[in-house]
A and B are shown apart, each in its own frame.
Chain A
Amino acid sequence: MTTNIAPQANTAPAATRTPTKAAPPVRRKKRNDEELSGSTGSRLLKHIVLIAFGIIMLYPLLWMLVSSLRPNDVIFREAGLWLTTFEISNYTEGWNALQSPFGHYMINSMIVVVGSIIGNLVSCSMAAYAFARLKFRRRNLLFAIMLMTIMLPIHVIIVPQYIIFSELGWVNTFIPLVLPKLLATDAFFVFLMVQFIRGLPKELDEAARIDGCGHVRIFTRIILPLMMPALATTTIFTFIWTWNDFFSQLIYLTDPEMYTVPVALRSFVDSTATSSWGSMFAMSIVSLLPVFLVFLFGQKYLVKGIATTGIK
């Protein structure tokens, strides 16, 4: 049951593809009737349960958003979502609570994120093209190795990696965070792209070959434009993961000037007394906002990507 994000893989069961024009709508209607069977009451009940459950799921997030606009003493008294005051000062205080304004850390995070995205897009798509379309000896072996590295815990390589990067004087720079992405070490993006390219019709490349195109041209002129959905999925997931990544940023960034958002937020939590939850919540909201926006606008690709490779 290999799920593929290539459009042609999402085909309906063969039976619905009958050439008679009238057939599909009839079938579809029948299917809907069947699926929506059950009384109106039971359907309504299902929706009520699902909505109630959704509210429970999102309640902590909504509560944090509302609490970030409340004075500190109210946060610990008010479990509801009703806002009586509008305490913007949490945001201004939180923004300036650390050595640099919070925007500084967001810019740092952005640099790492953009570098990682460019790295993943370029290096993973190149490797994917080779695995999906080219013939070379030891291809199966290398492909198997690539798949295995997906499951490799970072802990096994982080110590020597840290030693190498610190010998090179790269600790407290963004190089240790971005360089691995330029070298396609996020292997499941390679895998995701391989899956996608395999779903593209081979006739396109063959026609281009006959017209005298080399592999570089086929890759840049034919394959890359066609694999935009896979590239979008990669961009979105790289954004979210890099933005949220804590372990490697905690290890490589110890100078407060170089802190990214997660590391800055963590130092905020450790340095402040529990009395300033309001400003801590405010900055937490600020730090979640980019991920939320990406989620809002990139949902289609997120869902496709996750269904293909099972990533978080």
Chain B
Amino acid sequence: MQKPVLTISELHANVEDKEILKGVNLEIKGGEVHAIMGPNGTGKSTLSSTIMGHPKYHVTSGTVTLNEANVLEMSVDERARAGLFLAMQYPAEVPGVTNSDFLRTAMQTRMEDGKDVPLFKFIRELDKNVEKLEMREDLPHRYLNEGFSGGEKKRNEILQMLMLKPNIAILDEIDSGLDVDALRIVGEAVNSMRSENFGCLLITHYQRLLDHIKPDFVHIMMKGRIVKSGGAELIEKIDREGYDWIKKELGIDDERVIVEEQKRKVTSIGTCATKEMLDL
């Protein structure tokens, strides 16, 4: 099997006509773990969603390739089937759909025509991974993320990664909402995936996740670009000194490109109905 390579070059992307990514360059190969650090609002999550193809983000220039295939021309599901995976910061809840049905359907999309996911093997593997992640035993029968705590949702993202076995995984703030034990469990799970066929991009602003998953490369993101790259020594320096020294080096005051979080608005319909509508 060819070692996977995800190559991002000079990537620019907009949200609602505002440029958030301003020329990102990054290459992730199988066997490597990269970490992108940086304060809030610097474009880290935008980068991950853009790579996965979220409809809210519009690429204006630059390229993303996976093993030389043009990722930007693929639909979201094609990207997934090509081997990309995004563990989301805020995974959606899908009421009425069990985790088990969902996972099996997702795995089925990767099967050759006419072949089915072997049921017993699937159940065994799911149970094994649920145990490994120390999740509730009834997880397969619970509805997808519905009523899950923040930590449960994050573990569920990792569970999906373990089951779907992507070639390149992007973990977007997988550490937020996790306590010390959960962090260790998630770290072990990610480490168990490490191989020549698996490349990983961790997005975080805390070094504590990186105690568990040792990155080979560390990148700092500010103003929608990667402004500094190095090895594990960068983590320690940021832990000690924060980000101000980088800002000083670059001569910037405000490292952010996103000043306001996207807000959800509540629209009221008549007297009896309210709906939560995404501001799209």
Co-complex (A, B): no
Listed in ascending order, the chain A residues whose CB lies under 8 Å from chain B are: none
- B-side interface residues toward A, CB under 8 Å? none
